[in-house]
Chains A and B, each alone.
Chain A
Amino acid sequence: LAHGAGGKASRTLVEAVFLPSFRNPHLEPLADGAVLDLHPGTAPPDGEAPDGGAQNGGGLDGEAAHGRAPDGVSLDVGEPVGGGAGGPATTGGLAFTTDSYVVTPLFFPGGDIGDLAVNGTVNDLAMCGARPAHLSAAFIIEEGFPVEHLRRIATTMAGAARAAGVTIVTGDTKVVQRGKADGCYITTAGVGMVPSGVRLGADAVRPGDAVIVSGPIGEHGVTVMLARGRLDIEAELVSDTAPLNGLTARLLEACPDGRVRCLRDATRGGVATVLNEIARSSEVAVIITEEAVPVRPVVRGACELLGIDPLYVACEGRMVAVVAGESADAALAALRSHPLGEEAAVVGRVAEDPPGLVLLKTGFGGTRIVDVLVGDPLPRIC
């Protein structure tokens, strides 16, 4: 198995191996999370909030490695928003997602694997339009991994959960033999409620829509790459890992009724990969302008050194939002009103032709194809 740098290799793996076995309508779009309707035709559950108890029960503080946490919890993810009077179409659903986190190094400027594990899952829920509520966390730990490192990760996770307004309610821990894992891997799952009337998808994008990036791109991936190569050249460069649920809530509020078409966090494979998914799913052209894409000078400099294109670099706290063209200004204003979206920018627009392609208008007036990467990027120059 080859690791995909993002995009096609891992997608092909999912499509070839897992999809045939697990196939169902929720999995089919291969989105970051699934929105489920658990109570078809029934009234929404009453809302007492048992958050506190669950948080304690599922906590991973201290001796979590011995696995005394309960195997599961029953919990309430909150009331569907938007009033129960409407029919099924306007009733929200339960969003559910899971993701595994492996990163080298485990600790890097601006964060560690703990932030990633919480923020990543929170963001996957937020990209469904959901309000994230509860998370689970499962650890695979290599024998001999220092406990103080684990403690540090747990502390980071608790802080990230607090910042995102979610609780970690259940978990699991396995210790494997030395050499069978690389330090520590974390799998988190999360649930949240989708407000009624929200339906987002990479296939919901139409010509005329505006493409927005929520902030300067590439900081996480470049930071990790420099840390991995022990290239300490850019002291001020830190990961952008952050929870995006506050930002998405504001955006959905400002642009209601389907005016937000699609939200995607630009993680592995970066903004380029997200845009390609959108272009293919919606059979549209996504045309972006090189100069409009926000990239901090320090990131640009590091990308030049590393020889990588910021468009393909992973972010952990940036998203791509596609909104109706006429809502672009409202969306931008809403995003910029939030600390994490102050540098949000419209980077391009959606067109009819050529369907399925992402094009970049370069500073020189050219039009470059921004294609999805099949594997690790190797130069195409002869």
Chain B
Amino acid sequence: MRSCIRAEVRVDGVVQGVGFRPFVHRLATGLGLCGLVGNDERGVFIEVEGPAGTVSAFVRAVRDSPPPLAVVDRVTSRVIPVTGEPGFGIVASAGAGNGRALISPDVATCDECLRELWDPADRRHLHPFVNCTACGPRFTIVLSSPYDRAGTTMASFPMCEECAREYHDPASRRFHAQAVCCPACGPRLRLLAPAATASPGVPSASGHERLDGPRAGALCEVPGDPVAGTVALLRAGRIVAIKGIGGYHLAASAGDERAVAGLRARKRREDRPFALMVPDLPAVRRLCVTGPEEERLLTGRSRPIVLMGRRPDAPVAPAVAPGARELGVMLPYSPLHHLLLRRLAEPIVLTSGNLSDEPIAHTDEAAFTRLSGLADAFLTHDRPIHTRADDSVVRVFRGAELPVRRSRGHVPAPLPLARGPLRPVLGCGAELKHTFCLARGRRAFVSQHIGDLENHETLRSFTEGVRHFERLFGVRPEVVAHDLHPEYLSTKYALDREDTVPVGVQHHHAHIASCLADNGAAGPVIGVAFDGLGYGTDGTLWGGEFLVAGPAWFRRAGHLAPVPLPGGAAAVRQPWRMAAAYLGDAAPAGWGVRARNAALWDAVTAMAARGVNAPPTSSAGRLFDAVSAIVTGRDAVTYEGQAAVELEQLADPAERRAHPCRLLTDGVSGALEVDGGRLPAGGETFVAMGHDLVEAALEDVRAGVAAPLVSARFHNGVAGMIAEGCDRVREGTGLATVALSGGVFQNVLLLERATALLEERGFTVLRHRRVPPNDGGISLGQVAVAAAGQGRGECDRS
């Protein structure tokens, strides 16, 4: 065959453990090509031989239509001498490499596996661990790289003959599915309950088999079908801890007010809404108003919790989400969830298995001890979870995903960096909603949601998580980027690390850089970073910032007028203090927020006036707090952002009036000390008078304007102030692209109004799509800043 050529093809990306080689095999044999395919430490290598046109078609297909879980970063090919070897083979893996091949996130059970799950004739009928190369646990069960069974928590389950046959058969969709198993050889499900539990549907303790192990305590196995037993307990109003993919959940029947309220009391979670898991899409539609994007996200492979407007008649207990206009809902994503939900045929509350502020319990030992006072029973199994991963959370904005928490189902898929670091970088993240990010080349591996670092267990999952990522991706960071806040435990970690160069990145610069990275944009842009509190370069607390920023540098062009934060963290927990800080004696005595807090009002205003533990802050989050205290009466919060969330949910979206907010000229900024020449310089700096908004809200409320209108006018006022501020910066710099970041932009109403106003004025608006605008996105921004700084340094030297 004269026209025959042989090509060597390399495929990089998430291409292992996702059925890539069988796909290549099918593709090549289907096209009548000869050759071979194999895995090595970098990814997949292929040699194909046949007519030139067919070989090109093959390469295109590899690039354009890979298997569902594969993420193809790059396909490279070159022509090599033909060999004339017949047939197409899969060659053995080329040994353990340094682990550059990527590991897939944990993925919801696929349709084919579901078909088996419900097929009475299938040998995996009702098997709670059914999975294949297109679905199942990955990241949470991986111990080491490369991804093979020995490096996962499935290592202790030897495959039975039938499973082994599927595992070795290139034509099978379980070819090299590392978690393959069946009822004969797989993990075993068990329902455990304290011996004393006497509850409807549970046989008496006499029939229980005592468990070994020091930590199992008095837990006994409940005989019978564990799924049926769990369903009976839930129907009887009991709380059951259920071992999921990334940790234990606590479940209760969503329609049972007593059960849900009991769960709140036990978890010590007062107000924060619980997430629901519902059997199917029609059940979601009975609870919430869904659109196409909501349904796409709900049924997608990553199966996040989707926050959606609740129907007024949604049949859930009030304690699920007290007073909330939205519900967080997800669909089953593991076979066990499918088994439970189909049998129950009603929604359940499914919340992380922990006490408030603690990280989700993911080991059996931790669950049995820490959840013993919370759960009446444990639905568990013997496949260990190696890495904890909370459920991801998203909202929908203008028909697109707005991440709130990026975790299970997404991690550890790398995010592309437009400009990768020259030396490997670790971004240490912030303090709350913590993530870290490890980056090499053009790939940024943002970690799962770690939680709030001041908790010891959480700090450990950060430091151990970093080590795990380093090993998994074969990356040794040389540069460690951290926040400027000296008390963040992530900052202390960065400074304590040896053999790495620490780089401090300002918090709001990181927010904007994260938004740029998220959009693959290079900047410079006008960055609007609105959040709770972040440490500024002047040692004060920032949080309502207009920056002129690129990845490598930034300048503060404007900000909210600073107010005292009377009592520091206490002012964050008690929004009424922010009303006091803004209003002081201007608040009418005996009225509203001042009357409710009369006992301490004078002391707190005095603290604010005299600077007694009252550091100044330009925070936007605290502005929302002050207005929320005035408008909604929310004086104290039990979870972060509660006052602002309630203010948003209260707002009447039809109201178009806006409270005015003055921008006062503050000074003139000097030319930027940045090389490159094209960078914008100068312009007036300004402060935005948040006081105007607080006072306008106060006047409206006193005049008897309905709270939903006042809230809307405030939101519109903040949006107007943002647009006005961006106009000012544009005048000085000529920049016409705005990046919106910071936790405040989880507020969809504000995001909508600000985006609309900015677009009206001809701005291009960048917002978050892949990482959250809140501090969960900080680590990516830190990496982007550190990478850009390195790049610039390198150019300077040349």
Contact = CB atoms under 8 A, between A and B. Distances in A.
Given A307-B571, A374-B487, A368 B455 contact: yes
B268 A364 contact: yes
Interface in A354-382: 354, 357, 359, 364-369, 371, 373-382
Contacts of B486: 374-375
Contacts of B456: 354, 357, 359, 367-369
A147 B489 CA distance: 49
A26 interface: no
B101 to A, nearest CB: 33
A379 B572 contact: yes
A369 B455 contact: yes
Interface stretch (B283-291, B560-568, B698-706): B560-568
B531 interface: yes
A373 B460 CA distance: 20
B607 A379 contact: no
Interface residues of B, number: 53
B570 A304 contact: yes
Nearest to A229: B612
B774 interface: yes
26 contacts: A231-B606, A307-B571, A308-B567, A354-B456, A364-B357, A365-B355, A368-B456, A369-B455, A371-B489, A374-B487, A376-B615, A378-B533, A378-B541, A379-B541, A379-B565, A379-B568, A379-B569, A379-B571, A380-B485, A381-B640, A382-B431, A382-B533, A382-B621, A382-B640, A382-B743, A382-B775
Given A231-B606, A233-B603, A366-B358, 12 more contacts: A229-B607, A229-B612, A305-B603, A306-B612, A307-B567, A365-B370, A373-B487, A377-B568, A379-B568, A379-B572, A380-B431, A382-B431
Contacts of A365: 355, 358, 370, 373
Contacts of A229: 606-607, 610, 612
Per CB-CB distance, the 3 closest pairs between chain A and chain B, nearest first, are A307-B567, A307-B570, A229-B612
Contacts of B775: 382
Contacts of B621: 382
Interface in B436-478: 453-457, 459-460
Of the four ranges (under 10, 10 to 19, 20 to 34, 35 or more), the interface on chain A belongs to: 20 to 34
B210 to A, nearest CB: 26
Given A307-B568, A359-B456, A382-B533, A228 B488 contact: no
Contacts of B453: 369
A3 interface: no
A364 B570 contact: no
A225 interface: yes
A39 interface: no
Interface of B: 268, 355-358, 370, 373, 430-433, 453-457, 459-460, 485-489, 492, 507, 531-535, 541, 565-572, 600, 603-604, 606-607, 610, 612-613, 615, 621, 640, 743, 774-775
Given A375-B486, A380-B454, A230 B613 contact: no
Given A233-B603, A368-B454, A378 B615 contact: yes
A382 B454 contact: no
Nearest to A370: B454
Nearest to B543: A382
Nearest to B356: A364
A354 B460 CA distance: 10
Interface in A284-309: 304-308
A377 B453 CA distance: 16
A371 B640 CA distance: 22
A382 B535 CA distance: 9
Nearest to B431: A380
Contacts of A304: 570
Contacts of A231: 603, 606-607, 612
Contact of B432 (A307, A378, A380): A380
**Which of B485, B534, B568, B604 has the largest number of chain A CB atoms within 10 A?**
B568
Contacts of A378: 485, 487, 533, 535, 541, 568, 615
Given A307-B570, A307-B613, A367 B455 contact: yes
A168 B265 CA distance: 59
Contacts of B607: 229, 231, 305-306
Contact of B612 (A225, A367, A377, A382): A225
A381 B570 contact: no
A351 B445 CA distance: 35
B532 A381 contact: yes
A230 B603 CA distance: 9
Contact of A371 (B373, B487, B531, B610): B487
A305 B606 contact: no
Contacts of B433: 382
A367 B451 CA distance: 14
**Which of B358, B455, B603 has the largest number of chain A CB atoms within 10 A?**
B603
Given A366-B455, A369-B456, A382-B431, A305 B610 contact: no
**Which of A230, A354, A376 has the largest number of chain B CB atoms within 10 A?**
A376
A60 to B, nearest CB: 33
A378 B492 CA distance: 15
A223 to B, nearest CB: 13
B57 to A, nearest CB: 51
Contacts of B571: 307, 379
A265 B459 CA distance: 29
A382 B487 contact: no
A126 B487 CA distance: 32
A369 B454 contact: yes
A28 B466 CA distance: 35
Interface string A334-359: 00000000000000000000100101
**Which of B492, B531, B774 has the largest number of chain A CB atoms within 10 A?**
B492
A359 B460 CA distance: 13
B545 to A, nearest CB: 13
Contacts of A371: 487, 489, 492
B538 to A, nearest CB: 12
A305 B430 contact: no
A380 B568 CA distance: 9
Contacts of A364: 268, 355-357
Contacts of B268: 364
**Which of A229, A307, A365, A367 has the largest number of chain B CB atoms within 10 A?**
A307
A192 B246 CA distance: 60
Given A357-B456, A367-B457, A379-B533, A305 B600 contact: yes
Given A229-B612, A230-B606, A231-B612, A369 B459 contact: yes
Contacts of B606: 229-231
Contacts of A376: 615
Contacts of B569: 307, 379-381
Given A230-B606, A231-B612, A382 B370 contact: no
Contacts of A233: 603
Given A229-B610, A380-B431, A382-B433, A369 B533 contact: no
A365 to B, nearest CB: 5
